[in-house]
Structure 1
Amino acid sequence: MPPSGTYRVQVRPEFPLSDTAALADYLADLGVSHLYTSPLLAAVPGSAHGYDVVDHTKVNPELGGEQGRLDLRGALDAAGLGLVIDIVPNHAGVAVPSENPTWWDVLKNGEESKYAKFYDIDWSRGRLLIPVLADSPDALDDLRVEDGELRYYDKRYPIADGTGEGTAREVHDRQHYELANWTRGDSGLNYRRFFAIVDLAGLRVEDPEVFQATHAEILRWYAEGAVQGIRVDHPDGLRAPGEYLERLRAAAPDAWLVVEKILEPGEEPPPWPVDGTTGYDALAEVCGVFVDTSTERFFDTLDHHLTGGEVTWQTLVHQTKHTLATTQLAAELQRMAHLVPEIEAAPKALAELAACFPVYRSYLPFGARHLARARAEAGRRRPELIPVLDQLTARLRQPSEELAQRFQQYTGAVMAKGVEDTAFYRWTRFTARNEVGCDPCQFGVTPDDFHEAMESRQRTRPQSMTTLSTHDTKRSEDVRARLAVLAEVPGDWTEVVRRWVRVAPLPDPALAHLVWQAAVGAWPISRERLQAYALKAARESGAGTSWIDPDERFEGRLAEMVDKIYDDPALHREVDDFAASITAPGRSNALGQKLIQLTMPGVPDVYQGTELWDHSLVDPDNRRPVDFSLRRALLARMDDGWLPPVDDSGAAKLLVTSRTLRLRRQRPELFASYRPVFADGRVGEHVLAFDRGGAVAVATRLPVGLSRHGGWGDTTLSLDGHSWTEVFTNTSYGGNRLSVAELLRVFPVALLVKE
């Protein structure tokens, strides 16, 4: 039985399992059926996220260990809640080798280690490269031997038996690993990693023994009835995702199983034995339908004015993907090239194919058409490589070929690093759509397209997760809801932002536009938060500065620009006034998005804290502590009969969230089908509504345009003549034509239940 609704909590040392357990009664009152946690297995000490697992055999002691897990189970059982856990099959944390017993053994014993096959290491290329040394020719002079270990400042490494005599450098030279300059990681690494992170080493989970060793503990929790759902992190990194998921499904046949699979718009998921994705595709559909698609040309013009606008999204994506494919991911490219030494131009052709790949990856034989598209586009861009491209694609389409398997892992990393982490920060025309799962070229989603997508979702993946915010989203749902308002006031936005970029100039105008959108989208935001976001965005973009080679002068100019927002009284007042002008319609959008996400086909997830207004930006901003005592108090007031206004408190969003989740949990039969509902009247296009089989969701679209038309007027909804109860206001309605003005008199959303 899938959940009726989940609530995601980032369990971490500052918010351990004991604090999570204390939420159980609140989450039950909120209306979810399952708690959904970040990874719980032992991670690198101090890990704020848990995706760097170091020991698959135990619960993270910093979170409370096994006793903490048992206490959590007791609290959930008492509250009538289930548990969905996040697992990380693709990689393990190796930043602190002494904390990871399998990695420590591999370092000590090399290819003879009983754990050597746990990790995806190319032993043919010599010693295991560990890029941790300072960028200095004398860095090895800082090695020392202490307590039978090799030490480099605070880092510790094992010494193989019989190799501990002599100087530290002599000892080092006898090991199965080589400590190397940190800059060699991207080019010289001989183990697979997660994206470009050398501290996360790829696991060979396709090996049944490795699968068993890394999954035994979480499958024990499942077998004892403590876990009902599993969220699989980053399946695209696996050598054989389909085989892995079949094995996991066989081991947990009744679990609700969802995968963190990012689908490009229109892309169909592979035929895996899972219940669906983690919901980025749903996010793209829901957020898009609250954007006015008619104003796209205004933003094209503004972007051209600010940046010159010569580079299209498609061109930019090709550039950023190709750059990442040949620099940060050069080690992976080199490893593939070693498989075809007879093809001299293989690295150039493989990088070009990856840069042209239209989706994250294929899952051969499924998705072979994506390789054909990439081959055609690569040949168009680089005709001199056509003979090599043909040679390579003949092998890349063979599922059993190691080259094909590694290329599929490579394209996902190229897409993630080139698009999510680079192009999204450079192409800043309208950042409400710069989100994982979205195509920024798709300015918005029409109601007709939305309904078509929902009908398909109901037919094909009715138990897939839906979400609006996650720990990885670039900006929270309420920031995107407010930014969507810009599409309704393009003239106003053009006027103010053109003035602001003159008052507070920056050498990178695209980045400036990104920061200004972040400022008004998250306003009021502290100087410290906006400075941190702007710096991260600039380094991710890689245009004016970067993580690897920070440009102090550029970063100083950026800091000055942000400071001016707070230190120039006139500018501060302008930003404040403009943000205020889009706040009310932004709240309308936010309530509409939330209702649609919670009622659409699928299993809705609420990210921690987002049941109130949440104007967070990219991590770590979106992982700030949540005030649960405030949320408890507001929910208790509502349950005592308080009908909150739509105001700064965000209580209206909590009302919509709790009442909708409770209804889904109590009356699942009301959400078993999907039928669009259309409004009659002059402004009917401002209504987005559908009937899920007895529960009808009604949301306001494009509230600024609605206001310009003078409100709802005679707009009506035609229902089937039953009596209806509106859930948020507890108002009864009869007849087969309902006045939208009356229905949305209190809130810009309504949830009707057939009596």
Structure 2
Amino acid sequence: MSAHDHRTASAPTSTYRLQLGPGFTLQDAAGLLDQLDRLGVGALYLSPVLTAAPGSQHGYDVADPTRVAPVLGGDEAREELAEQAHARGLHVVTDIVPNHVSVARPDANPWWWDLLRLGPDSPYARCFDVDLSVPLLVPVLGEDADEALTIADGCLAYHEKRYPLAPGTFEPGDDIETVHRRQHYRLVSWRRGDSELTYRRFFDVDDLAAVRVEDPAVFEASHAEILRWAERGQLDGLRVDHVDGLSDPGAYLRRLTARFPGWLVVEKILAPGEDLPQSWPVAGTTGYDALREHTGVLVDPAGESDLTALATGEGVPVDVEATDHTARLHAATTLLRAETRRIAALVPPHSEEAVAELLAAFAVYRTYLPEGLDEWLRAVDLAGERRPDLAPALAALDQHVRSDPEGEAARRIQQTSGMIVAMGTENTAFYRATRFIALNEVGGDPARFSVAPEEFHTAAARREARHPHTMTTLSTHDTKRSEDVRARLAVLSETAADFTDAVRRWSAAHPLPEPSLDLLGWQTLVGAWPIGEERLTEHLLKAAREARLGTSWTEPDHAFEQAVRDWVPAVLTGLREEVEAFVERVRGPGWSNSLTQKALQLLGPGVPDLYQGTELWDLSLVDPDNRRPVDHRTRAELLDRLEAGWRPPVDTTGAAKLHLVRTCLHTRRELDPRGYTPLHAEGPAARHALAFARSSPEAHTPDLAVVGTRLPLTLERTGGWDETVLPLPPGPWTDRLTGEPVPPTRADGATAPRLADLLGRYPVAVLVRG
């Protein structure tokens, strides 16, 4: 069996993502195993479990990759969890972070501590992408550096942080500045990090230093613990974080799969129409491409003109390409200038402007030369069109990179382009071009207002043909809005005229101090209602700082931010009844959208991931809001009732979603569906049905069919399903959600149920043959 065949065989039927932290440990996860098994989950999917920086709430800031985090329960708890999961037939999948480690607390990271202490002589110097020809810059100092920098505990100390002293560099009575100058590093102002940093970071986070896993010895050291679990049969799958940050992702993945033959997916953002490099030995991505399609197919293209008119009238940018370009240039010239300068220094005429324009021009997150040559050439051409004056420098860059596609300049441009897109587009432009925030999601494209059903079916069939065991997702720890918020927001495209009228009225009475934030604020209020003052305030402040229009993380405008804080209670008090009335009109159709997209995801091609807590309605926003504790007890109580035969109504409890999730997961476990055949309704409301059929491995004809409701508000307004029918493949069918058989409805005995009957109780149906 080849490695690829083994990964296919080892793919779980589904995954359930648990966000570990000090408040939810490996022991807590073990306590959920029975509940997850009863739900129908195929694999337990854990956030990073290696030792993170002290106080970490999420685990992505790994400080010591050689041991399981004691705060999570340590290796004994991990091993016990794996044994208990396997005893129930559940796979174990975990998230790994090969690109970077935390250096926020040097004393918590033994590799970084040794590098600071010994400089180029440290055996760990090879672990980091750092320029050791000069003292290593550590940007941590504030305005109080002169008073706060001291010697304490035999270390250089700045407040609670400690930095090692090189041997022989300190004697009692030595001047602090003299001691500081003797070190292999320099503590400098935090403001110098973006432009002068001498080590590569994760995005613009100074506390996360990049690791050189392309070095075989570094790979072995940083992966030994993870591979030990796999060798002992305690790990079945891996999710690789930020694969685009690596020097050579393809080579890394080939090295990893040579040692780890289990299921492997990568956090890789694909542009519309883009596919993974064929040379990557992985099952697929973590599913943001599927997320874009599942949300987009629920959006009514008829709402685009009204929402665009509102944005234009309010002064919110609607030219997505121009907004992206501006934001990406800011990322390249300011937030990540140190990387831009480093690249420019490698290629005469050393033009930072040319490098910045090129980095801002890619249509994809990253090229993988030589495989990605077409995307590279398109970026070079676009940068030249935007800045003809930079043509000679761009030509030099192009020639240099293509003559040595494995050289340092090519490698650094490729590593950096993904960071520029993420920092510029996701983290900035998505908070500026806020015409319709349901589209402004990781992996999304706000310029593509909706996805036609035909496009949705084509993408699903392509996924089944090319990457049948890729992960699909609707909500993650990184999504800006949960699946249920986006589902409700999609309804606004069906009532865009009414919504835009309401926003103009509300904004005239209570405007936020910047147009993009104002439009985002009203959509957030409707999409996440009911929402408390603290949650809404924190979300709006984060959105404003990310947009960098009225305030920012590094240059906060206190008057602007106070206006945001004042807006929230004023609106929650003064407009509560109006907002509640509007939400009441879209809540039911939003539930319909939530159930439809969930059924499509859970039973469509790929391995569906269920983010913690989203088996009930979940109206979470961007992190840290989406990492709040989950009330698993309530979910367990509702699960008890479902197992006793209860078929709940679609209401505020969210029990209907739990019923759907349980039904779909168990059906997936039982049938292991393959293939993908679109089904087409017939009749006056045919465009409102979205359906497909699949087959279990033993079946000669489809034995699973799924149908959901599309554009439910418009369907209701135009008179409902009427005589619209859904022709099904031959055979008797039963709806597992209702337990009701689907009777033959044609003279020839064929089954073509009226959708008014089939979807009378729930807006979705899960049909099995027999």
TM-score, shorter chain, exceeding 0.5: yes
- Residue in structure 2 matching 1:144, options 146, 150, 154: 150
Residue number in structure 2 paired with 1:729: 738
| 1:556-575 → structure 2 map (5 Å cutoff) | 556-568=562-574, 571-575=575-579
Q: Are positions 1:261 and 2:268 aligned together?
A: yes
Q: Is the 8 A contact 2:136 2:185 kept in 1?
A: yes
| 1:287-686 → structure 2 map (5 Å cutoff) | 287-307=295-315, 309=317, 312-340=319-347, 342-344=348-350, 346-397=351-402, 398-568=404-574, 571-668=575-672, 671-686=673-688
- In the TM superposition, residue 308 of structure 1 has moved relative to its aligned partner by 5.9
Q: Is the 8 A contact 1:141 1:169 kept in 2?
A: no
SS at match of 1:729: coil
Q: Is the 8 A contact 1:721 1:737 kept in 2?
A: no
Return 5+ residue gaps in structure 2 as ranges.
1-9, 696-702, 745-750
Amino acid across the alignment from 1:507: P
Q: How many Å separate the matches in 1 of 2:420 and 2:96? A: 23
Amino acid across the alignment from 2:270: L
Q: How many Å separate the matches in 2 of 1:556 and 1:478? A: 30
Amino acid across the alignment from 1:499: R
Q: Is the 8 A contact 2:83 2:234 kept in 1?
A: no
Q: Greater shift after overlay, 475-484 or 42-51?
A: 42-51
Q: Is the 8 A contact 1:131 1:180 kept in 2?
A: yes
Residue number in structure 1 paired with 2:100: 91
- In the TM superposition, residue 359 of structure 1 has moved relative to its aligned partner by 1.0
SS at match of 1:737: coil
Give every structure 1 segment of 4 or more consecutive aligned residues whose post-TM-superposition deviation is greater than 3 Å. none
- In the TM superposition, residue 147 of structure 1 has moved relative to its aligned partner by 2.6
Q: Greater shift after overlay, 713-722 or 445-454?
A: 713-722
Q: Are positions 1:115 and 2:124 aligned together?
A: yes
Any idea what the Cα deviations from partners look like across 1:507-560, whole Å, max 9, x if unmatched? 311110001101100000001100110111000100000000100111122222
Amino acid across the alignment from 1:576: E
Q: Greater shift after overlay, 179-188 or 165-174?
A: 165-174
Q: How many Å separate the matches in 1 of 2:725 and 2:274? A: 36
Any idea what the Cα deviations from partners look like across 1:287-328, whole Å, max 9, x if unmatched? 11111112211211111111164x511001000000110001
SS at match of 1:716: coil
Residue number in structure 1 paired with 2:283: 275
Q: How many Å separate the matches in 1 of 2:730 and 2:411? A: 57
- In the TM superposition, residue 337 of structure 1 has moved relative to its aligned partner by 1.8
Q: Is the 8 A contact 2:316 2:515 kept in 1?
A: no
Any idea what the Cα deviations from partners look like across 1:416-448, whole Å, max 9, x if unmatched? 000100000000111110001110011010001
Q: Are positions 1:242 and 2:247 aligned together?
A: no
| 1:140-289 → structure 2 map (5 Å cutoff) | 140-165=146-171, 166-253=174-261, 255-271=262-278, 272-289=280-297
Q: How many Å separate the matches in 2 of 1:537 and 1:367? A: 33
SS at match of 1:214: helix
Amino acid across the alignment from 1:52: D
Q: How many Å separate the matches in 2 of 1:721 and 1:55? A: 58
Q: Greater shift after overlay, 160-169 or 36-45?
A: 160-169
Amino acid across the alignment from 1:103: W
Identity rate, percent: 52
Q: Is the 8 A contact 1:135 1:182 kept in 2?
A: no
Q: How many Å separate the matches in 2 of 1:623 and 1:194? A: 21
Any idea what the Cα deviations from partners look like across 1:50-96, whole Å, max 9, x if unmatched? 01111111100010001111221232133221100000000001000
Q: Are positions 1:696 and 2:701 aligned together?
A: no
Q: How many Å separate the matches in 1 of 2:71 and 2:335? A: 32
Q: How many Å separate the matches in 2 of 1:592 and 1:334? A: 48
Q: Is the 8 A contact 2:482 2:619 kept in 1?
A: yes
Q: How many Å separate the matches in 1 of 2:669 and 2:109? A: 41
- In the TM superposition, residue 380 of structure 1 has moved relative to its aligned partner by 1.0
Residue number in structure 2 paired with 1:14: 23
Q: Greater shift after overlay, 706-715 or 276-285?
A: 706-715
Amino acid across the alignment from 1:751: V
Q: How many Å separate the matches in 1 of 2:622 and 2:140? A: 27
- Residue in structure 2 matching 1:45, options 54, 77, 84: 54
Any idea what the Cα deviations from partners look like across 1:220-274, whole Å, max 9, x if unmatched? 1111111100000000000000000000010112x10000000011112112100
Q: How many Å separate the matches in 2 of 1:517 and 1:567? A: 17
Any idea what the Cα deviations from partners look like across 1:78-118, whole Å, max 9, x if unmatched? 32211000000000010001011111000000011000000
Q: Is the 8 A contact 1:45 1:62 kept in 2?
A: no
- Residue in structure 2 matching 1:127, options 118, 135, 140: 135
> RMSD of the TM alignment (CA)?
1.0
Residue number in structure 1 paired with 2:700: none
Q: How many Å separate the matches in 1 of 2:201 and 2:316? A: 37
Q: How many Å separate the matches in 1 of 2:562 and 2:224? A: 50
Q: Is the 8 A contact 1:276 1:465 kept in 2?
A: yes
Q: How many Å separate the matches in 2 of 1:50 and 1:304? A: 41
Q: How many Å separate the matches in 2 of 1:76 and 1:551? A: 50
Amino acid across the alignment from 1:51: Y
Q: Greater shift after overlay, 451-460 or 735-744?
A: 735-744
Going from structure 1 to structure 2, the CA distance change for 1:743 and 1:308 (only over 3 Å counts) comes to closer
Amino acid across the alignment from 1:515: G
Amino acid across the alignment from 2:214: E
- In the TM superposition, residue 167 of structure 1 has moved relative to its aligned partner by 2.1
